[in-house]
Amino acid sequence: MLRLIISVLAFLTAYQAFAQGVVTLRPVARVELGTPITLGDIAKLTGDAEALAGVVLIESPADEAGADRRLDVPLKDIRAKLGSLPDFSAGQITFRGDACRVILRVRSNTDNQNANSLRPEVTAASVGITLRDHVESKLLQTFGVTLEHLQLSFDDSDAALLASSTEGWIVDVQPIGSSATMPMRITMYDEAGNIRDETVRVGVRILREVVRTTRALRRGSTPTPEDYETDSAWLAPDIAYIEPEAVTTIRLRRNTGAGEMLTVAHAEQAEVIKKGEVVSVHVVSGTIVMRSAARALEAGRIGDTIEFEPLQGGGSFMADVRAPGRAVVIANTTHLTGAQR
């Protein structure tokens, strides 16, 4: 047995000495849309493996990605690609990791220019502001974004209608619902009081700043800055995403994999004040604000009204939880219980 152990140790030592480079797959990587995926994009390379950084693993990743612009690159595919290289020696490379999830970054300026440049041809008879201009203006107002942050697509069957001039008409455009494809009700009135009703369907996506996990997270955990990073994504209006400033105030309601975009479906509000924690209580009375430290008598999430006690003096009072370590009392609306503790 001792001789066997010595032989195994000797083999491992020789193997490590022989291996001249290390390829460590990242759990998540981001690659610009429209560019090939290279080994250097998805792995940390050391030693002789650095020479493999430019090896193209997938020439056209957009063709293999799903609708969410994500795809997984498993280690076995990487080994197969490297093995096809004439000068590659697998014995000189150590591999670590199982797969990398690649997220194709949206080049917002290019994508948006392409999407918004596909306007139907306007004939010479279509002068002045068109119906499409009214639809765009209403959606910009509805979502509170600029044109650079809005992608619109229209049915070919609506092209002639959208290109028509609205000169001489008063136009009222109203969205019906909020989804990836939004019906728009259009009512037009002329000077004689005539009414014209139309309906078009518009594909809508909005460029949002979102949060993606950098590693797998367990149910019940609250993400820390090391657990996520911000990203840009084109989203349908009805996708309830988690905004970056809110991510540290949530608690995951299910296990979450690396590279996932966090949405309301992933999260519930986390407790931002713990029972027994000393927090800053802001008492607001008109234009006067006083701050005082108090101890929480129960845990609370943002929006909860919970009980506190002053650090000095008896009694207790209720205050609204507004942020981690902070609560607010609006004078004349919160009743002091007078309970002794």
Domain positions in the chain: 2-105, 109-205, 207-271, 272-330
Displacement of CA 91 from its chain's centroid (Å): 40
CATH class of the domain defined by 272-330: mainly beta
The pTM (predicted TM-score) of the whole model is 0.55
pLDDT in tens for each of the 341 residues of the chain?
A: 545 444 444 444 444 444 478 898 887 888 888 899 999 999 999 888 898 999 999 999 988 887 667 888 999 999 999 989 887 877 788 888 888 888 887 654 444 455 454 444 444 343 458 899 999 999 998 888 888 899 999 999 999 899 988 888 899 999 987 778 899 999 999 888 889 999 999 999 999 999 999 999 999 888 999 999 998 888 999 898 988 988 888 889 899 998 899 998 888 777 788 899 999 999 888 778 888 899 999 988 777 899 999 988 778 899 998 888 889 988 754 444 444 43
Q: Phi and psi for 147 in degrees, rounded to 5?
A: -60, -30
Phi-psi label, residue 338: left if phi above 0, alpha if psi -120 to 50, beta otherwise: left
CATH class of the domain defined by 207-271: alpha beta
CATH class of the domain defined by 2-105: mainly beta
Model confidence pLDDT, tens digit, residues 234-267: 899 989 898 898 888 888 989 999 889 999 888 8
> Is residue 223 within 8 Å of residue 247, measured between CB atoms?
yes
Model confidence pLDDT, tens digit, residues 183-208: 999 999 988 888 999 999 999 999 99
Amino acid at 103: I
Burial 111-147 (b: 16+ CB within 10 A, else e): bbeeeeeeebeeeeebeeebbbebbbebbeeeeeeee
